Every structure is written in C-alpha cells, then in structure tokens.
A = this chain, B = another copy of it.
Amino acid sequence: MDFNYSNEQMALQETLQRFIARDYGFEQRRELARSTLGFSAGAWAQYASLGLLSLPFPEEYGGLGGNGVDIMLVMELAGRGLLLEPYLSSVVMGGGLIRAAAAEPLKRSMLPRIGAGELKLALACYEAGGRYDLSHVACTAVYRGGGWRLSGEKTVVLDAPSADYLLVSARSSGEVGDSNGISLFLVAREAPGVSLSAYPTQSGGRAADVGLEDVALDANALIGVVDGGLSPVEWAVDQGIAGLCAEAVGIIAALNEATLTYLKTRKQFGVPIGKFQALQHRMADMLIAAEQARSMAVIAAVAADAEDARERRRAISGAKAYIGQAARLVGQQAVQLHGAMGVVDELIVSHYFKRLTMIDLSLGNTDFHLERFSNAP
C-alpha cells in the first residue's frame, strides 16, 4: 500500500509540466485546434524525445516498461494542458494493442517506430447502431487467396485522420453482437479501398468515419488469433478508459483551481463572491468530488495492469462511471460559478468543460459503464 510517485515519476511529471507551461499555452492550443492537423507535430516529436511515446512498452522493444500509474501521471497532465496530440489512440490503445496481441516480428518492427514518433495508430472498434458495444461488429473479414478482405464502416474513429495505421475490428464469423467471431486487423490508412470522412470533435481533436471497400490485406495483417479479437480490443479500450479517467482528474483539478481563483478575485456587492457561503459550500463539494475522482483514477490505473479481465473491467467501468458524474458536477458548476465568463470561448474554463463532456461520451458514457459495473458481481 503506497500512494507516492517514484523519483523517476516525479521527474517525468516536472518535465511535462515545464513543457506545457512553456510550449502549450492556451492561445497556442487554440491555434493548434484550428490548424489542419489539429495538434502539434513539434510536440509529438518532443514527447518522443521525452520517452513518453515508448513509456508503456517493454524494454526489449525500446520502451521504458511503464505501468498504468505512469500512464495516469501523463494523462493527468494531458488533461491539465488540454493536449491535442493522439497519445491515447496511438500509444496507449494502439501501441498497447500491438504489444499485447501482435506477433513478435510486428512488435519488433512497430513498437520502436511508435516510440520514436514515426508511426501513429488509431483504434477503429465502433460501428453505427452499436453505440458503445464492442461486439456490435458488422464489418466483414473474409479469408480468400491467402489474404483477408475487409468491407464495412467504422464510426467516429478518434485520431484516424493523422494515423498511419488503423486497428480495425471485423467479423470473421458469427452474427453482429456475438463475442466470438471478431478478428483484429492492421490496415494502412492509405490502403486501396480505405476512405475517410474526417471532422474535428467538440473538444478540438480530430476523428473520422472510416469506409472499407473490399480492402485486401496480407495474412499477417491479422493481429492475434482469428475470431478472438474481442478480448484484446476490450483490453485496449480499458487501457484507454483508465487514461481518460486520469485526463478527467487533471481537468477537474485545473477547473477547481481556476474557479477558486475566480471566487477570490471576482467582486460583486463590494466583496469577493467567494465570501458567499452558498458558493463556498459549492466549492467544497467540488473539492470533495475531485478527491474522490482522483481515488477512482488510481483504482483504474492499477486495475489497468490487472491479470484478471473481470476484475479489470469492473474496476475500470466503475471508475469511468464515477468520474463521469464527478466531472459533470465540477464542469457544470465551474461554468456556473464563473457566470457569463464561463460560457465564452475566450476563457479556458469552457474548453475544460467541453473536454470533460466529451470524455464522458468517449469509450462508453456514464450509463454504459454504470451498467457494466452493476452487472458484474
């Protein structure tokens, strides 16, 4: 039982904090969100040089062998800085999936390049009508002539526009909704038959719908075993959720700081509005929510490394559902306590609020995970 960061972790934290303060101010971030790419290629290179992009990978693949707590630490700061780079998609989920499920040669070829920032991945695991159900896969994978043919559509694939490769879940057998019969494929975004309909997201990132028209793949494009793709995808998504939980906790903390400062500086009726007890108690509620949310993010970060899938799923769904509600409280109240200043684009408050809202709607919202938690004994 130990709640302290190691010295390495604290060093990493400080480096990243310095980087955000120096190179990732609110104005720069807004410019990046408006840019075509939607994030900073320079920042991405810096993450590589800081080792962030290889953090979770084992040493033998040029990684730092980091664990869930290391990712929590990074993602919390990603939240505070509202970082736009596809870290979660490319490193935590994409790279994590390669590491967890791909064959040895592929790992050896890809992980170092991901870590070096030369390669970006995106996870294409949701489809129309499935909402957040990972087994709702209609996209087909047919084995023919020594290779695979993929056809279908994946929706709202986060960070797809900038990804070199997509990790696509497709149905190699069974019916839509079956847990078995889902296989996982590595598809070059530029491959013939792959089409993207790209758009920005409500919180400044990028995503796309992906069309797959009879896309031809080699046999070795298959990641893991045929028909056994669901559990690695669930694992990868759970890694992503743990990351989102930490990101949300970083934003919650930042919003509480901003709101507290506003309460102390904004004067009405001749006094700082923080002198009004109703607002003081609201702020106290927000602090309590932040502490509880942080505890849940710790639970999720530790559970992300758990061997037992049921244990992992339950803890991580619980954390996502709890933090979704805490984020809603803090986000809405931070806006409310900022009054009109909370609903304008020019302050970071509204951007934090929008990001928290989109975090809830990503990789399964509060209701989805509340159900998954409460259905698990």
Contacts and interface: CB of A to CB of B under 8 A. Distances in A.
Interface of A: 276-278, 280-281
A276 B278 CA distance: 8
6 contacts: A276-B277, A277-B277, A277-B278, A278-B278, A278-B280, A278-B281
Contacts of A281: 278
A270 to B, nearest CB: 16
A278 B276 CA distance: 8
A276 B280 CA distance: 11
A276 B281 CA distance: 11
A277 B278 CA distance: 5
Contacts of A280: 278
Q: Please name the 3 residue pairs, one residue from A and one from B, whose CB atoms are nearest each other, closest first.
A: A277-B277, A277-B278, A278-B281
Nearest to A284: B278
A109 to B, nearest CB: 54
A273 to B, nearest CB: 11
A281 B285 CA distance: 15
Nearest to A276: B277
A268 to B, nearest CB: 13
A143 to B, nearest CB: 46
Contacts of A278: 277-278, 280-281
A277 B279 CA distance: 9
Contacts of A276: 277
A195 B277 CA distance: 58
A280 B276 CA distance: 11
A214 to B, nearest CB: 43
A79 B228 CA distance: 62
Contacts of A277: 276-278
Nearest to A280: B278
A369 B269 CA distance: 46
A277 B277 CA distance: 6
A276 B277 CA distance: 7
A276 B275 CA distance: 11
A281 B280 CA distance: 12
A283 to B, nearest CB: 11
A277 B280 CA distance: 10
A160 B311 CA distance: 50
Nearest to A279: B277
Nearest to A275: B277
A306 to B, nearest CB: 33
Nearest to A282: B278
A68 to B, nearest CB: 37
A35 to B, nearest CB: 44
A136 to B, nearest CB: 25
A342 to B, nearest CB: 19
A337 to B, nearest CB: 14
A285 to B, nearest CB: 11
A264 B278 CA distance: 18
A280 B281 CA distance: 12
A225 to B, nearest CB: 43
A31 B32 CA distance: 75
A287 to B, nearest CB: 15
A280 to B, nearest CB: 7
